Amino acid sequence: MYLILRTVARRVGGVVAECNYATHRLAELQANPERYVIEPDQAPDSYQVFLLLTSRKLAHEPSAVERSAGAAVR
């Protein structure tokens, strides 16, 4: 009985964690200023526009050591 309860709790926790990640990722993508650029293939018109487009937090990619140990690249 205890094993079944623990398995169900782990799966529910996994679903909640995945939903939390998806919510944060969606908010991050919607707040991205590059999403609203009219001509994304063109260079920015000014240095200020460049700074605005690159002002967001950069995605962290695990190091080679972390990737070889099995860390997920998101």
pLDDT at 50: 84
Residues 72 and 62: their CA atoms lie apart, in Å, by: 8
The count of domains in the chain is 2
Instruction: For residues 20 and 2, state if they share a domain.
Output: yes
Instruction: For residues 42 and 70, state if they share a domain.
Output: yes
pLDDT at 59: 66
For residue 12, give the amino acid letter: V
Note if the pTM is more than 0.75: no
Instruction: For residues 44 and 66, state if they share a domain.
Output: yes
Question: 29: closest CA among 18, 19, 21, 41?
Answer: 21
Alpha carbon distances (Å) from 65 to 59, 68, 73: 18, 5, 12
Q: What range defines the domain where residue 74 resides?
A: 37-74
Instruction: For residues 62 and 42, state if they share a domain.
Output: yes
pLDDT tens digits, residue range 9-68?
Answer: 999 999 999 999 999 989 888 887 777 777 877 888 889 888 887 776 666 677 788 878
